[in-house]
A = this chain, B = another copy of it.
Amino acid sequence: MPMVQVTMLEGRTTEQKRKLAKRITDALVEEAAARREAIVIAFHDVTKESYASGGVLMADKGK
């Protein structure tokens, strides 16, 4: 029963999440012998004001 939590910057489309869900699930089935129906994936979209790398908010990058 693998649980996958993906935290990404908001803005991905439903079509992108659809493909990601399929490919991540396929990988778990084919490489880790997980049972397909048991795999759950959640996408947590965060805003640029709620995401930082290197100590700098994404909202402040490139300024």
Chain B residues lying within 8 Å of A46, measured Cβ to Cβ, are 42-44
Question: A5 touching B7 by the CB < 8 A rule?
Answer: yes
Chain B residues lying within 8 Å of A5, measured Cβ to Cβ, are 3-5, 7
Chain B residues lying within 8 Å of A45, measured Cβ to Cβ, are 50
**Interfacial residues of chain A within 22-63, with CB under 8 A of chain B in the complex:** 22-29, 31-32, 34, 36-46, 49-60
Distance between Cα atoms of A27 and B23 in the complex (Å): 6
Chain B residues lying within 8 Å of A31, measured Cβ to Cβ, are 16, 19-20, 23
Closest 7 CB pairs of A and B: A25-B55, A21-B52, A23-B27, A43-B50, A19-B31, A3-B7, A41-B52
